[in-house]
């Protein structure tokens, strides 16, 4: 099945246009898969390397873009921004402890 990027209708494999709204199905191509994967990767990497929480911010931004615009990769994009928030919070907790000289990680 091919899901329409505009209205979400499921169309039979090989369909050229959506049966419901007429949108061309072939131009969906990557469907934000790369963005969703990057969001996920940044979200995970953020737990290990996260200067100024930039990696977390990247994961959150890419994750939200993927979550809003993607049709078939929404859950992966969502996992990306959730991990981004978690890694950002994790980093802030570490920074907090380091600032007060209580660091066990630094």
The 10 Å Cβ neighbour count of residue 106 is 10
Please report whether residue 20 would count as binding Zn ion according to CB under 5 A: yes
CB of 19 to Zn ion, least distance (A): 8
Among residues 23 and 33, whose Cβ is nearest to Zn ion? 23
| Residue 32 token pair | 């934000």
The span from the CA of 71 to the CA of 80, in Å, is: 15
Please report whether residue 68 would count as binding Zn ion according to CB under 5 A: no
DSSP-derived letter for residue 17 is: B
By CB under 5 A, what part of segment 21-50 binds Zn ion?
Answer: 21, 23
Please report whether residue 19 would count as binding Zn ion according to CB under 5 A: no
């Amino acid at each position: 099945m091919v899901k329409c990027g505009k209205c979400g209708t499921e169309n039979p494999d090989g369909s050229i246009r959506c049966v419901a709204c007429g949108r061309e199905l072939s131009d969906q191509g990557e469907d934000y898969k790369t963005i969703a994967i990057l969001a996920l990767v940044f979200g995970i990497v953020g737990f290990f390397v996260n200067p100024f929480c930039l990696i977390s911010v990247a994961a959150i931004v890419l994750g939200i873009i993927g979550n809003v615009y993607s049709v078939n990769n929404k859950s992966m994009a969502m996992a990306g921004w959730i991990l981004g928030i978690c890694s950002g919070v994790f980093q802030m907790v570490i920074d907090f402890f380091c600032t007060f000289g209580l660091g066990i990680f630094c």
